[in-house]
Each structure stands twice: as structure tokens, then as C-alpha cells.
Amino acid sequence: MAFYSSPEEMYLARAKRFKKDADMHWAKALNGEGDYHYGKAKKFYKEAKLNREKAEKAKGLSFKTAKKAERR
């Protein structure tokens, strides 16, 4: 996982993306584009919350495994 420096950063980026998608679907639902968008918004808000919680749990962790850390 070279793109993110830590699991916390990865989960925060995922949460931000899910929130952005949820907001888009919510706006479409409010503009009368159907129940499909309400369902998607609800799902994405739930995923954003889940990823924020995972980021809190991952605070201070790194992607390095114990074996890799021992070699250095």
C-alpha cells in the first residue's frame, strides 16, 4: 500500500469519498430523481461513518508488518 502512508489516512480518504458520493445522491433525491438515490445516499452515509470509525481505530498504526519492522 504505497499510496497511503497509514491505514488511518486510507480510511479517512475512503470516508471522504463516500461522503461526497452520498451528498451527490442526496441532492439528486431531493430534486425528485427517485428512490434509487435515497437508497444510495443512505448506503454511502453508512459506509462513510464506518470508515471514519475504522480510521479512529487505526490511529497510530502503519502498514509495516512485524517481520518487516524486525529487519530494519
Q: Which tens digit of pLDDT belongs to each residue from 12-30?
A: 999 999 999 999 999 999 9
Predicted pLDDT of residue 63? 83
What would the mean pLDDT of 32-54 be, rounded to a whole number?
Answer: 95
Domain ranges of the chain: 7-65
What would the mean pLDDT of 36-51 be, rounded to a whole number?
Answer: 97
Rounded to whole angstroms, how far apart are CA atoms 72 and 15? 32
Predicted pLDDT of residue 37? 95
Rounded to whole angstroms, how far apart are CA atoms 54 and 20? 18
Rounded to whole angstroms, how far apart are CA atoms 43 and 30? 16
